[in-house]
Amino acid sequence: MKDRIIQLLNTEGLSASKFADIIGVQRSSMSHILSGRNNPSLDFIQKIMRAFPQVSGDWLISGVGEMIKGQVASSLFQEMVKEEDTAPYQVSQPPKLIKKEINEGVPNKADRMPEIEASAFLSGKTIEKVVVFYSDKTFKEYNPA
């Protein structure tokens, strides 16, 4: 499990001390786990899972599956996008702003999907990079393979 925690630190671009601060444990506890002196407790694991809900518990605990939840689905989405990029599209009207239906009933404005220009999906453009900004002022970049 120590190696998977180190992988999570590297993926998130965090130092051990910053990670300890984020999950709410003492820095010395983090040091003991990373050195192999101690194994992570259930409480420690739960704190990681609360602070990083995108991380798969199965992966964290046993190494089974992908680190990020939905990563397989994301790969399938990328394949769908690649297939659609080859289809010819013509836009007969000026681009309109569209909202995904997922926005309906979402009370927190920060959780809402942004308005997206329809022409971005219909012009055959490919996704180069997706950047996700978190409320703690950190961010994560995703680059299609």
Cα distance between residue 115 and residue 144, in whole Å = 22
Q: How far is CA 57 from the centre of its chain?
A: 14
What would the two tokens of residue 125 be?
């453009």
More confident of the two residues 109 and 53: 53
Strand partners, 98: 116
The model's pLDDT over 9-42, given as tens digits with 9 standing for 90+, comes to: 999 999 999 999 999 999 999 999 999 999 999 9
Closest CA to 64 of 145, 2, 4: 4
**Domains in the chain, CATH or no CATH each:** 2-62 (1.10.260.40), 89-142 (no CATH)
Q: Residue 138: pLDDT band by 50, 70, 90 thresholds?
A: confident
**For residue 140, what are the β-bridge partners?**
132
Instruction: Please check whether residue 112 is in contact with residue 103, taking contact to mean a CB–CB distance below 8 angstroms.
Output: yes
Both tokens of 44, joined, read 């420690």
* pTM higher than the cut 0.75: no
Whole-angstrom CA distances from 127 to 77, 120, 130 are 11, 9, 8
Dist. CA 30–CA 45, nearest whole Å: 12
